[in-house]
Structure 1
């Protein structure tokens, strides 16, 4: 059965999304990782070729594993121009310097190739680039939309609420996000990435948040409750069942990597299938 497979891996504070299209091609959107979390290059150790590597924006928590990932064959590379930002805005640690250098090398040597991931057999892939502030790489986050059959996945790196509000003035963008069933919350589900007006145009069934466990760095900025309310008020929510015995564990409106571990999605003619913790099977 043809299907679109998407995995949001538990990399702690950061993002790593791996996709396999119905046309047997793959995409990586971000490759961040933290200590004691999933390492993208380890997850992809059996993958030798990447059809497209996309870094949503030049912040190191979204490309910490880029040196290892770059050892694979990469056919297409997309990222907002990292040369638009001072290195000190991209990363803050001494260890980030080599990663930033590699990001800029890939940007210079591997061009975007629209043919690397085929838009055929019902699979759709849209990209939108918001205007940005050169003092804040978050504002440059690429908005990515993936669709197959009756489902659509919307994700936007660390885009801020003001970036969403700008894009909502674009009629083409509004048409593209229509029918969104899975929303990947921007900026790790933080308050400054939440845009209430977005939910005037989409009614997702579920929201995904990628972030580390709550601590002094993020506990006062998380707004999971707002995403939960927005999805619920829009008529969303998915009932989940235990794999072992099929017993319902209730309806969920938001899944987070900090509580649900890695999140695996399959989209096919049969609908939307989500499994947490392990893999797609």
Structure 2
């Protein structure tokens, strides 16, 4: 290679790395002190991406299929190929279908679940990948430390740094034998004066149980079971007292989610309703004192 060509290549690479570094610094500066919670637009299902001011990230559920990868590319910088924690609220297809693809594409440190198994082919694939990665078998583009698998129980806290914590509220027992929706992980994200409550597909019976335990108040409620009438009772909404309620559902889905009964309950309460089937991806930002929709 001629000396002139080598010099041009060095200049190009130098400018390239300066540009990448500048983008990285600008992104970090923009995020200083900000918690982001994004309800991803993945159709009929749930997928929630959380990034703390510290840079720690959690993905709660992965939607029905690999569409979660498209959505993650919209809320994560292009150079980021790692997610600290992936949490599956329960084993139904519309919550775990995309997680195998996430584990293949991203380096994930911790996988959290209830331990209640599902029957879908996606769950069996997920089980296989988690088992292999927990033994350090390289999959996708990544090698390195084995994936850590955790069965969650009430009282566990995921510390994301900079004052952001995810509190596990349910299950509070071994959920073996429970129906998958009933065993759903319920978790509360807290950052300063702002809270988010994630409910998976939990039915009213579990909502009533949690009401008896208290400590549900949250600014944002993710409505259980995509707005189905099996969840989101008036008493539960009153106990949570949300300013916003997010419903994650697919456009013109065959289940009729969200139900008019639930919409009436939320409207009577006065909460602002946000829907992925109508609003697309829904992104909240919090500085620990106030919330805004991005």
Same fold (TM over 0.5): yes
* Alignment pair present for 1:54 and 2:87: yes
Stretches of structure 2 that go unaligned for 5 or more consecutive residues are 1-31, 136-146
* Cα displacement (A) at 1:111: 2.8
Normalized per residue, the structure richer in helix is: 2
> Counterparts of 1:211 and 1:112 in 2: how far apart (Å)?
28
1:24 equivalent in structure 2: 55
2:108 equivalent in structure 1: 74
1:264 equivalent in structure 2: 283
1:162 equivalent in structure 2: 205
1:3 equivalent in structure 2: 34
* Alignment pair present for 1:121 and 2:162: yes
2:90 partner SS: coil
**2:273 maps to which of 233, 238, 254:** 254
**Structure 1 residues 71-80 or 53-62, which shifts more?**
71-80
**2:149 maps to which of 105, 111, 121:** 111
Q: Is the 8 A contact 1:156 1:185 kept in 2?
A: yes
* Alignment pair present for 1:101 and 2:139: no
Considering only aligned residues, what root-mean-square deviation do their CA atoms show, in Å?
3.0
Q: Is the 8 A contact 2:69 2:102 kept in 1?
A: no
Which consecutive aligned stretches of 4+ in structure 1 deviate over 6 angstroms post-superposition? Answer: 35-38, 113-116
Paired residues, what number?
Answer: 244
Stretches of structure 1 that go unaligned for 5 or more consecutive residues are 237-252, 276-281
Q: Structure 2-normalised TM-score?
A: 0.72
1:140 partner SS: coil
* Cα displacement (A) at 1:202: 2.4
> Counterparts of 1:220 and 1:63 in 2: how far apart (Å)?
20
* Cα displacement (A) at 1:13: 0.6
**1:189-248 residue CA offsets vs partner (Å, 9 max, x unmatched):** 11001222113322211100000123443258454423432541xxx4xxxxxxxxxxxx
1:241 equivalent in structure 2: none
**1:153-212 residue CA offsets vs partner (Å, 9 max, x unmatched):** 001111111111112222xxx12x23x110110100110012221133222111000001
Larger Cα-atom Rg: 2
Q: Structure 1-normalised TM-score?
A: 0.75
> Counterparts of 1:190 and 1:38 in 2: how far apart (Å)?
26
> Counterparts of 2:71 and 2:133 in 1: how far apart (Å)?
17
